[in-house]
Amino acid sequence: MPYEYEKNGAAIYLESFATIRAEARLEHFDKDAEQVVVRMIHAAGMVGLEEHVQVSDGMVATARAALENGAPVFCDAYMVSEGVTRKRLPADNDVICTLRDPRVPDMARDMGTTRSAAALELWRDRLGGALVAIGNAPTALFHLLEMLEDPDCPRPAAIIGCPVGFVGARESKEALWQAQPVPSIIVNGRLGGSAITVAAVNAIASRSE
């Protein structure tokens, strides 16, 4: 016996987002932020995620303008960089993850940190005005904040800080939100991950759902 289920992709898409908007509490987000949060909820399959999301005033507009001006997107992990939909990017933007650079293992050993954190040092020459998307490694987010304490380190336009996990994830996001070196999005607590982070990037890159 065949199963009865919706087979029309367009109908699935419309019903999914209608369900999110009917069930989620989105009233405290502005229009731009709401678009991004809806995408994050969709990626997580979790109405209620919005209660954990914090968005700096003007973050989405700032990040979107940066992309429209050709800024690169720096990602802490390939699970993030590979999820970015290139056709959504407004200026054929570079999407960069340096985790597999052959220099990184030695850098991590010398720095006494993870490869995810050490890989960020290779971003410095292009970090100014970029969009940063950290969706996996709390150590990467902590190291980014340490880099930005250096007045000579170029500043990105905006940060999506959504590392996931049980060790350092909550603390790294709290640190980002308290420091606010640039406009940011975080998901409080242990929640986060590559799918949510990619959803935020793709939503920012697009002006419509």
Which pLDDT value is given to residue 209?
53
Q: Which amino acid is at 55?
A: V
Let me know how long the chain is: 209
User: What is the model's pLDDT at position 208?
Assistant: 57
Contact 122, 96 (CB under 8 A): no
| Residue 163: closest CA among 145, 188, 199, 126 | 188
Catalytic residue ranges: 42
The torsion angles phi and psi of 124, rounded to 5 degrees, stand at: -55, -40
Q: What is the DSSP letter of 154?
A: P
Residue 196: what pLDDT?
A: 98
The answer to whether the beta carbons of residues 158 and 66 sit under 8 Å apart is yes
The residues of the chain scoring below 70 in pLDDT are: 207-209
* Greatest C-alpha distance within the chain: 66
pLDDT tens column, 18-41: 999 999 999 999 999 999 999 999
**Which residues share a beta bridge with 74?**
96, 132
C-beta separation of 182 from 157 below 8 A: yes
